[in-house]
Amino acid sequence: MTRVALRLVGFALLGCAHAPPATSPAPPPLLLQLRGSEVASKTVDELGKLGRERVTVLDPHENRDVVFEGVSATKLFDAVFGPAWRGADDVVATCRDGFHPSIPVKVFLEHDAYVAFARPDSADFSIQETATKRANVGPYYIVWKKTDRPDPPEPEWPFEVTGLEVTDFATRFAAVIPPAGSTELARDGFDRFRTFCLPCHTLNGVGGASGPELNYPVSVTEYFSEPMLRTWIGDPQRVRWRAKMPPPLPPGDDQAHSIDAIVAYLKVMAGAKRAPASP
């Protein structure tokens, strides 16, 4: 199961005997940015002209092979950005629910990513979350073609994507990099925080918008006791009943070390607060 809870979408069917059949609105264009500047905005038709393909993926939500329609991400980036994107560090997705996962460029170069916008076996662009519930993954869904190579780990299957930005590490993370002289544990904590926490939370205004800011104006280490913070990072359900935040650390991870590292990073950053650049 994915660590990111899928947003359920309800459908109301309205009509009468003489009403025309309902049609789904066209998906909005995909916004494409390079280092903070908009370069292009591509509709589904424009994406399709780059080479619409059907691709089989081992979808982590349904845990089975699923066929989607979309365009190769590398083909799209080459067409829009030219070769410049291949020398960048990260591709950051913007999702409708405020999720902002950051995927290393090298992952796109080493695996076959597709920007999917349709599912041939479904009237709508959705995923079967449970036996009775479906969840919308449109307008765009980043999927990875099934090959003999290992699939990229979660959370690198972002859905409800509205934009993609190719950026550099220093540009993207300048406000959240631990200061010079930080311990090795805190630097390790930044790497883990960047992977598991920053897609949903902001720190100094950098990151996702689906969770609260964790450092400015008051650090989470200043209003949570350390034992409570450690428990929350390990399993939010142990602190708050029906907490919306899922356990952030993946199964099989060295939980104790990860929690030590993330807490060390958060403590360091409590002394390196920066006002967010925008509300």
How much is the average pLDDT of 111-125? 93
- For the chain, the domain total comes to 2
Quote the CA–CA distance of 166 and 157 in Å, as a whole number: 17
Q: Are residues 117 and 157 in the same domain?
A: yes
Same domain, yes or no: 153 and 182: no
**Residue 149 shares a structural domain with residue 253:** no
**Six-digit token pair at 162?**
């509205």
Give the pLDDT score at 272: 95
Which stretches does DSSP call E strand in 17-133? 30-34, 37-42, 53-59, 64-72, 90-95, 102-104, 113-118, 126-128
Which one is predicted more confidently, 91 or 242?
Answer: 91
The span from the CA of 40 to the CA of 46, in Å, is 11
Among 171, 188, 207, where does a domain finish? 171
Regarding whether 35 and 142 lie in a shared domain, the answer is yes
Question: 262 phi and psi, to 5 degrees?
Answer: -65, -40
- CATH number of the domain at 60, please: 3.90.420.10
d(CA 138, CA 26): 11
Residue 24 lies in a domain: no
Question: Where a domain ends, among 171, 192, 221?
Answer: 171
Say if residue 45 is in the same domain as residue 72.
Answer: yes
Q: How confident is the model at residue 91 (pLDDT cuts 50, 70, 90)?
A: very high
Residue scoring higher pLDDT (172 or 12): 172
Condensed to tens digits (0 to 9), the pLDDT of residues 215-253 reads 999 999 999 999 999 999 999 999 998 888 888 888 778
pLDDT tens digits along 136-159: 999 999 999 988 776 665 558 999
* Calpha distance 8→249 (Å, rounded): 23
Tell me if residue 41 falls in helix, strand or coil.
strand
192 with 133, same domain?
Answer: no
Q: What domain range is 250 assigned to?
A: 174-270
Q: Can you give the pLDDT at residue 14?
A: 33
Could you tell me the CA-to-CA distances from 214 to 46, 193, 231 in Å, in that order? 39, 11, 16
Give the model confidence (pLDDT) of 162-200 as tens digits. 999 999 988 888 899 999 999 999 999 999 998 889 988
Of 127, 150, 171, at which residue does a domain stop? 171
Contact 68, 141 (CB under 8 A): yes
Closest CA to 259 of 227, 216, 238, 230: 230
* pLDDT higher than 50, residue 15: no
Whether residue 101 is predicted with pLDDT greater than 80 in this model: the reply is yes
